[in-house]
Amino acid sequence: MKTIIETRGVTKVYRTDGVGTPALRGVDLSFRQGEFVSVMGPSGCGKSTLLYLLGLLDRPTEGTVLLAGTDTKGLGDSERTRLRRSHIGFVFQRFNLMAAISAEANVALALKVRRLPVGSAPRDMLAAVGLDAKRHRRPSALSVGEQQRVAIARALVTRPTVLLADEPTGNLDSEASDRVLELVARFHRELGQTIVLITHNEQVAARAGRLVRMRDGRIVAG
Amino acid sequence: MMLPLANLLPRKIRTAISVLAVGVGVALFLVLVGLTGMLHEIADRTTNVDADIMVMPAAGPAILLGGGLPADKTEARLRAIPGVREAIPVLCWTLNLAGRDQNVFAVRPEDWHFFAKPDAIIEGRPLAGGYEMIIDTRLQRAGGYTLGRKIERLNHIFTIVGIAREGVAGRVFVPLDTLNECLQQDARRATFFYVKADGPAAVKPVCDAISAMKLSAFTLDEYYARLSNLLGDMHLVIGGVVTVAGFVCFLVILLTVYTMVIERTREIGILKGIGASRSQIFGLVLAEAGLIAASGIGVGFLMTWAGRTLILDLQPLWTIEIPPLRFAYAAALAAIGTFLGALHPALRAARQDPVESLRYE
């Protein structure tokens, strides 16, 4: 299978008051199309930073990220946004829905920002995650697990080639967590997306086909 | 529901205050502009006479009052000028009617036809002489006067003998001799004269000839312009109010939108995460400000209508005329203030680092 996303010598240093704090140190990684990868590591090891770089939300201090064969190093904001829209779906850990609008409108938003036709896709997607009956509810009227299922529906409604999930079960109880992970696994089987899932939970990580371990901004396994 | 509207609705009080601030600015501008219509209305009435020229004492004031001219002597001098067909004396005085001072036009009964067409009297009859009075419909409404009502003024009892359609030169007419007598003038006095020339070609030479007699002569158009010039200072005041209103609108929007952007830092990060571009974020923030402005303009128009109704209810003789174009000016003023106020926060939101936004608690 061909590589869909790749990092080459990626280093990320955050600067605060002139002091540099390295979050990633020369990371080389590649993800093949249709692969389900878990990224594990202790807090502060650079997992989320890696995810933001893979999703083109941030730029590396050194090195480059290649997405769908495009070297993103020299790209401007609008080109990066265009690439992100075409290939990436994000699921964040928490507070990841727009509070003022319904679940269905949240899912539709992903289509609207990409200027894609909306139609019945949001409703179909919410039905697929078991929330058709609650599609008119605002996030505050949904449980945390249900909110995360809406977020998954929103990330997948645009049929991205890569789904990036930042500890999607981090705030969920075990039952809700299992349900969300089953959904992710099901969509992976049915839609064949590349999935990169950040977690610090061994059981969650075990669901993926490949496990990448990180420590102190480096890849230590996988 | 569209996202900009959905974002505003949960913050009801703040949104309402912002809308109200824009509305007050719009209403303030429109009512002030409308009030300047009062002077225009006076100018319209004063020049709504079948004559060509107004003659006053040299360097006389634009506001007409008092008996500065000997009526008979001045009339004789004016009639002696070639090209003068009629010289119509008017003595102006103030009488308190309907709770406020009214400028009374004292005219000769035989001159009435210069002031009103035959159908202008809608009730009663023109002046005949003695202690008679004609009022216009507006004063009738304001004071609740009826035909035949007796009113004591200047130590005499006047009877309302006619009601004229509003738009005639004076709100109140009395006979010239009667007012002179009431004021105990030694000889008939006049505040000014209307002069009717033999034709349009005679107007300029007649004006020149009157000026040579050390009297001020204006065509009715010139007099209208002279009265309108009194609005010059008023326009300065309006300009000041407009500036303040626009600035308040700008500040309120700036503060509201800035707070909205700070509050929703994380949401902006999420929007970028799901693919929103800078221009889409910028547009979203401007759309929210635009909704506030549009509502504020609507509320401002309603407040203008309510304010106008209230003012005219309390002061029926005031005039508040707002030309339709001024509504467009007011809307443009609010829109510009809103745009400028929302510009900085919108740019800030568009430039926000998505990663920092997503980490924002």
User: B279-317, pLDDT tens digit by residue?
Assistant: 999 998 899 889 999 999 999 999 999 999 999 888 888
- Mean predicted confidence (pLDDT) in B184-191: 83
Inter-chain CB proximity B3 and A90 less than 8 Å: no
Nearest CA in chain A to B278: A78
> How far does B289 lie from chain A, in Å, by closest CA?
16
B274 interaction partners in chain A (CB closer than 8 Å): 89-90, 109-110, 113, 154-155
| Residues across chain A | 222
Nearest to B54 by CA among B220, B283, B177: B220
pLDDT at A179: 80
A114 interaction partners in chain B (CB closer than 8 Å): 275
Place B197 in a pLDDT band, splitting at 50, 70 and 90: very high
B272 interaction partners in chain A (CB closer than 8 Å): 57, 81
Which helix (H) or strand (E) covers residue A156, if one does?
helix A144-156
- Mean predicted confidence (pLDDT) in A22-36: 90
pLDDT at B203: 94
Strand order in the sheet with A19-32: A19-32, A3-16, A62-67, A70-71
Q: Is B306 on the interface with A (CB under 8 A)?
A: no
Residue A51 · residue A38 · CB < 8 Å: no
Q: Is A46 on the interface with B (CB under 8 A)?
A: no
- Mean predicted confidence (pLDDT) in B51-58: 91
Largest CA distance in chain A: 52
Nearest to B271 by CA among A153, A162, A96, A147: A96
Q: What is the DSSP letter of B58?
A: T
Inter-chain CB proximity A81 and B278 less than 8 Å: yes
Place B160 in a pLDDT band, splitting at 50, 70 and 90: very high
Inter-chain CB proximity A101 and B9 less than 8 Å: no
Inter-chain CB proximity A158 and B275 less than 8 Å: yes
Inter-chain CB proximity B277 and A78 less than 8 Å: yes
Q: Is A167 on the interface with B (CB under 8 A)?
A: no
Nearest 5°: the CA angle A5, A11, A15 is 130
More confident residue, B172 or B68: B172
Nearest to B170 by CA among B131, B193, B137, B147: B137
Cα atoms in the Cβ-side hemisphere of radius 13 Å centred on B173: 34
Sign of CA dihedral B288, B290, B295, B300: positive
Place B168 in a pLDDT band, splitting at 50, 70 and 90: confident
pTM more than 0.80: no
pLDDT at A199: 87
Sign of CA dihedral B138, B139, B140, B141: positive
CA distances from A2 to A31, B277, B349 (A): 9, 29, 37
pLDDT at B10 over 80: no
Q: Which two tokens mark B339?
A: 């745009």
> How far does A10 lie from chain B, in Å, by closest CA?
17
Residue B307 · residue B3 · CB < 8 Å: no
B353 interaction partners in chain A (CB closer than 8 Å): 58
Number of cross-chain residue pairs from A and B with Cβ atoms under 8 Å apart: 67
Place B74 in a pLDDT band, splitting at 50, 70 and 90: very high
Q: Which stretch of A151-155, A162-166, B34-38, B127-131 has the lowest confidence by average pLDDT?
A: B34-38
Q: What is the DSSP letter of A117?
A: -
Q: Which of residues 78-97 of A touch B (CB under 8 A)?
A: 78, 81, 84-85, 88-90, 92, 95-97
Nearest CA in chain A to B281: A113
Instruction: Share the mean pLDDT of chain B.
Output: 87
Q: Is A137 on the interface with B (CB under 8 A)?
A: no
Nearest CA in chain A to B263: A99
Q: Is A55 on the interface with B (CB under 8 A)?
A: yes
Q: Which two tokens mark A15?
A: 């600067």
Inter-chain CB proximity A90 and B274 less than 8 Å: yes
CA distances from B109 to A143, A212, B30, B32, B131 (A): 89, 108, 41, 39, 12
- Mean predicted confidence (pLDDT) in A200-205: 82
Q: Is B76 on the interface with A (CB under 8 A)?
A: no
Nearest CA in chain A to B357: A57
Nearest CA in chain B to A164: B273
Nearest CA in chain A to B3: A101
Place B361 in a pLDDT band, splitting at 50, 70 and 90: low
pLDDT at B148 over 70: yes
Q: Is B346 exposed, middle or buried (0-12, 13-18, 19+ CB in 10 A)?
A: buried
CA distances from B28 to A43, B1, B231, B245 (A): 58, 33, 17, 8
Report the alpha-carbon distance of residue A193 to residue A31 in Å, rounded.
Answer: 11
pLDDT at B63: 55
A67 interaction partners in chain B (CB closer than 8 Å): none
pLDDT digits (tens, 9 = 90+) for A97-148: 888 889 999 999 989 988 888 888 899 889 888 888 899 999 989 988 888 8
Residue A54 · residue A196 · CB < 8 Å: yes
> How far does A95 lie from chain B, in Å, by closest CA?
8
pLDDT at B64 over 70: no
Instruction: Share the mean pLDDT of chain A.
Output: 87
Inter-chain CB proximity A85 and B275 less than 8 Å: yes
Share of chain B above pLDDT 90, in %: 41
Residue A145 · residue A180 · CB < 8 Å: yes
**Three-state secondary-structure class, residue A112:** helix
**Three-state secondary-structure class, residue A76:** coil
Nearest CA in chain B to A98: B267
pLDDT at B51: 93
pLDDT at B139: 92
- Mean predicted confidence (pLDDT) in B260-283: 86
Nearest CA in chain A to B4: A100
Q: Enumerate residues 6+ apart whose C-beta is below 8 A from A159.
A: A191
* Identity at A202, one-letter amino acid code: E
Report the alpha-carbon distance of residue A195 to residue A129 in Å, rounded.
Answer: 17
Give the end-to-end CA distance of chain B in Å, rounded to a whole number.
26
- Mean predicted confidence (pLDDT) in A147-175: 85
Inter-chain CB proximity B266 and A52 less than 8 Å: no
pLDDT at A143: 87
- Mean predicted confidence (pLDDT) in B209-227: 88
CA distances from A95 to A178, B95, B195, B307 (A): 20, 74, 83, 46
pLDDT digits (tens, 9 = 90+) for A50-77: 999 999 988 999 999 999 888 998 898 8
pLDDT at B300: 94
* Identity at B226, one-letter amino acid code: R
Other C-beta atoms closer than 10 Å to the C-beta of B61 total 11
Q: Which stretch of B136-145, B152-161, B218-227, B229-238 has the lowest confidence by average pLDDT?
A: B229-238
**Has the ipTM of the complex gone over 0.85?**
no
A101 interaction partners in chain B (CB closer than 8 Å): 1, 3, 6
Interface test with B, best of A13, A58, A77, A98 (most B CBs within 10 A): A98
